[in-house]
Amino acid sequence: MPVDTTEAIEDVLEYETIAVVGCSSTPGKAAHDVPKYLLDHGYDVIPVNPYADEIFGREVYDSLDDVEESIDVVCIFRPSEEVGEIVDAALERDDVAVIWTQQGIRDDDAAARAESDGRTVVQDRCMKVEHRRIAP
């Protein structure tokens, strides 16, 4: 079952490297503003978007498969119907500890696959909102 307690979310927010699938280069969109907030608060944000070359002055990867750095959390800003494929790509990696789908995004089947593979899952929550609520 996806985590939903404050303590469990606090634990997730302790991770440092977040790959943001669907990261946007357009200010004003949640898929841009949330990762920018995370970057501004000390997280190492890795943008993943096949339609951009650079976001936040950082190299953008086409897919999770292309990311060379180690990833702690995969944060998903894509429609719910795309989550399963993204989760499957995350499960191919040994380094991903957490799958996080942003507010309004969920796939219970994909979440169950991730959890049965030993990954932590957070669904339908905004990382920025949770960080602001929990962080000192």
Question: Average pLDDT in the 119-132 region?
Answer: 97
Q: What is the mean pLDDT of the chain?
A: 96
Q: Is residue 42 part of a domain?
A: yes
Domain that holds residue 118: 6-134
If one counts the domains in the chain, the total is 1
Q: Is residue 112 part of a domain?
A: yes
Site of tokens 């800003």: 77
Q: Is residue 124 part of a domain?
A: yes
Q: Is residue 1 part of a domain?
A: no
pLDDT at residue 78 tops 90: yes
pLDDT digit string (tens) for 63-73? 999 999 999 99
- The predicted structure's pLDDT at residue 136: 65
Q: 132, exposed or middle or buried, with CB in 10 Å at 0-12, 13-18, 19+?
A: exposed
Between the alpha carbon of residue 35 and those of residues 31, 88, 112, the distances in Å are: 7, 22, 25
